[in-house]
Amino acid sequence: MIGDKKILYSGMQATGTLTLGNYLGALKNWVSLSGDEEECERFYGIMDLHSLTLRQNPSEFRKNARSLYALYVAAGLDPEKNCIYYQSHVSAHTELCWILDCFTYMGELNRMTQFKDKSAKHADNINAGLYTYPVLMAADILLYQTDLVPVGEDQKQHVEICRDIAVRFNNIYGDVFTIPEPYIRKEGARIMSLQEPDRKMSKSDENPNAAVMLLDDTDTIIRKFKRAVTDSGSEVRYDPAEKAGVSNLMDIYGAVCKKTRDEVEKEFDGKGYKDFKFAVGEAVANELAPLRQRYAELLADKSYLDLRIKENAEKARYFANKTLRKVQKKIGLTIL
C-alpha cells in the first residue's frame, strides 16, 4: 500500500499478439479498474523475462514486447496514470527471485499444474526456468507490496504459492511483504477456442481460425466467427455441457455488448446460428476497430512510447528497489 492507496499488479507475457480472450478476460477489466485512480496505484508488466521459458527469436521478441506495450495503451491504459513497464528493465525482479527460491520448497513447485501442462507441450525444453516460474511471479507481485492481483481462475494457484512464500518469509523476518489477494472479477469472461470450445482460446493455437487476434482486420474477424464451431441444432441457448460452442459465442457477445445471457437468448430467439455468428463477429469487429487505429498511431509515434517506457521503468525501479533493499537488510546481506 502506498499511503491510503492499495497496490494492484498484473501483467502478460510478451509473446505474439493478444487474443480476444486476453482482451475480454483481462485487459478490458484492467482498463475498467484504471478509473479507480484515487483508490489504487496500478502496475502492469510486460513480462518479457517469463517469456524466456520458450526459445524466442530476438528481433521478433523485441518487436512483440513493444507491440504489447502499445496494445496496453491502445486498449485504454493511460501510461501516465498506470505504471506500464518492462519486467526486464527492473533487475530487482531477478534478484528477489533468487532470494525467494531459497524460501520455496520443491514440493510446492511439484504441485504447480502449469509446469505439468507446459512440460507435456514442450517435452524437448523442460528447463529450470519453467519449473521456478512461480517464484519469479511471486517476486513480481511482492516487490511492489501488492494488495490485489487481477487473475483468472487458472492463475489463482500462482497467487496462492506467492502468499505461502510471503507468509513464510514474514514469519521469520517480520512484516516485510504485503500478503496479496487474488482479484477475480466475474465480468472477466473465460473465452474459449472458436474451433475447440472445450479449450481456452490461445495465441499459440496452430489452427488460425481458433483464435481472434486483436490486430485482425474486420473481414478476418467476421470470417473466423462464421467458421466457429457450434452444434447440430439451431437454438441460441446457454448450455456449456451440450452447446459449448454456442455458449462461448454468447459469452463473447455478452462481454462485448454488455448484455446478460438471458438478454442474448431473447435477442436471438427464433434466429439461426448464421445470423447469430455474423452478429457476434460484427460486434467484436466494431469493438476492436478503434483499438487497432490507436495502436497504429502509437507505433508511429516512437518518441512518445520511448518516453513512457523510460519514465515508467524509473518509477517501477524506485518502488521495487525499496522492497529489495528491505529484504536484503533483513536476511543479512551487506548493502552498499
Average pLDDT over every residue of 116-133 = 81
Q: What is the pLDDT of residue 4?
A: 73
What percent of the chain shows pLDDT beyond 70?
96
Average pLDDT over every residue of 281-303 = 97
Number of residues that this document lists for the chain: 336
Question: Between residues 3 and 52, which one has the greater pLDDT?
Answer: 52
If pLDDT is split at 50, 70 and 90, which confidence band does 1 have? low
Q: What is the pLDDT of residue 86?
A: 98
Q: What is the pLDDT of residue 222?
A: 97
Q: Do the beta carbons of residue 273 and residue 243 sit within 8 Å?
A: no
In order of their start, the domains of the chain are: 6-189+301-331 (3.40.50.620), 218-296 (1.10.240.10)
* 14: three-class secondary structure by DSSP: coil
Distance of CA 121 to the CA centre of its chain: 20
- C-alpha 113/C-alpha 31 separation (Å) is 29
Of 222, 214, 279, 292, residue with least CA distance to 250: 279
Residue 47, strand partner residues: 13
DSSP code at position 183: E
Q: What is the pLDDT of residue 36?
A: 55
Q: What is the pLDDT of residue 39?
A: 75
Q: What is the pLDDT of residue 187?
A: 56
Catalytic residues: 118, 200, 203
Q: Does residue 16 come out as left (phi exceeding 0), alpha (psi in the -120 to 50 range) or beta?
A: left
**Lowest mean pLDDT: which of 155-159, 221-225, 277-281?**
155-159
Q: What is the pLDDT of residue 303?
A: 97
**Lowest mean pLDDT: which of 173-177, 225-229, 268-272?**
268-272
If pLDDT is split at 50, 70 and 90, which confidence band does 3 have? low
What is the maximal distance between C-alpha atoms in the chain? 73
Of 44, 144, 40, 131, residue with least CA distance to 93: 144
Average pLDDT over every residue of 263-287 = 95
Cα angle, residue 212 at apex, residues 72 and 217 outer, rounded to 5°: 80
Q: What is the pLDDT of residue 111?
A: 87
Q: What is the pLDDT of residue 21?
A: 93
Query: Looking at the predicted structure, is the pLDDT value of residue 256 above 70?
Result: yes
